[in-house]
A = this chain, B = another copy of it.
Amino acid sequence: MSEPVYDLVAIGNAMVDVLAHTTEEFIAEQDEKCGMKKGSMNLIDERRAVELYGEMDAGIEVSGGSAGNTMAGFASFGGKGAYIGKTANDQLGDVYRHDMKAMGVTMNTVPLALGAPTGRCLVLVTPDGQRTMNTFLGAGVELSEADIDENLIASAKVTYLEGYLFDPEQAKAAFKKAAQIAHDAGHRVSLSLSDSFCVDRHREDFLNLVENHVDILFANEDEIKSLYQVETFEEALEIVKGKCEIAALTRSEKGSVIVRGDEVVEVAGVKADVVDTTGAGDQYAAGFLYGFTQGMDMATCGRLGTLAATEVISHMGPRPEVSYADFIEQAKAAA
């Protein structure tokens, strides 16, 4: 087992979010027209991305991507991290790479020189604060095994993978390669299930991964129920026990439940004014993994996750607007 250089390395679909307010009616119309599911991540092609953008309100652009958001939060806590994700050599790619570097996150993935533009996610935020995502992967589909830097993965305490990587075919292979390298180096592999529809699309793969390759699992209530195709959270909780070292299951305002062997820790939610839920799960993972890589107990890890998630839903956009390092004492003090 080599000495870790990084606390966390994450691999994900790199993309810039375009966030705009919308109405319930607009989502309902789009669902009718092309099956846009409120609250979830809908994959779209470039033609559809142009069409939908044309119908959206004026927006803000901010770097996103699930695992990328987690790395931004992780760095805000003070963790040492790296990110692997495919951008293009274009203006949005420049923004993406700049933002990672500016957060102190190492990102050396070679941008795509020719072909698709940097991916983008058209995020529609309804008055209830719920976000509905429409993702054009763009250059992200070109992320492949060749982008997996063995030395980097082997040098990290934890390798974090977003479930969304199972959508583009080549990324799946990259994902599996990275998990193998991490384990061979004696380090841990963490997975976020990302989205219940994503779980639906790749259930067999995810069941196999969780049982055989994942040490730290993140899932929300819908995702874990979808994975095990059960009706209640309690049933899912019973099934996941023992499947991996740690499962951190989030339940929105109800807080989270962390399972580690026979130990079950419940972490209370925090009352929040919800402006935009984009990035909530990503920042929970950021807080939890920061605590974990610093050797904190499960309850403190969970509280760090909750504090970060609560901050990110209080404003538009999926990344920190304040320094998460300020949450560390608060999470420890609550013990």
Minimum CB–CB distance for A73 against chain B, Å: 11
Best-buried of A18, A54, A91, A95 by chain B (most CB within 10 Å): A91
Q: Is the CB of A102 within 8 A of B57?
A: yes
Checking B58, B91, B102 against A90 with a beta-carbon cut-off of 8 angstroms, the contacting residue is B91
Tell me if A117 is interfacial: C-beta within 8 Å of chain B: yes
Minimum CB–CB distance for A313 against chain B, Å: 15
Checking B61, B117, B316, B319 against A95 with a beta-carbon cut-off of 8 angstroms, the contacting residue is B61
A-B contact pairs, 26 of them (CB 8 A): A18-B95, A20-B102, A53-B98, A54-B98, A54-B101, A56-B98, A57-B103, A58-B63, A58-B72, A58-B98, A58-B100, A58-B102, A58-B103, A59-B99, A59-B102, A60-B60, A60-B61, A60-B62, A60-B317, A61-B61, A61-B95, A90-B90, A90-B91, A91-B91, A91-B92, A91-B117
Q: Is the CB of A62 within 8 A of B61?
A: yes
Set of chain B residues within 8 Å of A101, measured between Cβ atoms: 54
Q: How far is the CA of A92 from the CA of B95 in the complex (A)?
A: 11
Number of interface residues of A (CB under 8 A): 28
Q: How far is the CA of A53 from the CA of B58 in the complex (A)?
A: 24
Interface string of A97-128 (1 = CB under 8 A from B): 01111110000000000000100000000000
Set of chain B residues within 8 Å of A20, measured between Cβ atoms: 102
Closest residue of B by beta carbon distance from A18: B95
Checking B90, B102, B316 against A56 with a beta-carbon cut-off of 8 angstroms, the contacting residue is B102
Q: How far is the CA of A58 from the CA of B73 in the complex (A)?
A: 12
Q: How far is the CA of A261 from the CA of B18 in the complex (A)?
A: 46
Q: How far is the CA of A95 from the CA of B54 in the complex (A)?
A: 10
Closest residue of B by beta carbon distance from A96: B58
Closest residue of B by beta carbon distance from A20: B102
Best-buried of A58, A319, A321 by chain B (most CB within 10 Å): A58
Closest residue of B by beta carbon distance from A53: B98
Set of chain B residues within 8 Å of A319, measured between Cβ atoms: 58
Set of chain B residues within 8 Å of A95, measured between Cβ atoms: 18, 59, 61
Q: A20-B102, A58-B100, A60-B60 are in contact. List 13 more A-B contacts (CB 8 A).
A: A53-B98, A57-B102, A58-B102, A58-B319, A59-B95, A60-B317, A61-B61, A61-B62, A61-B95, A90-B90, A91-B92, A91-B117, A316-B321
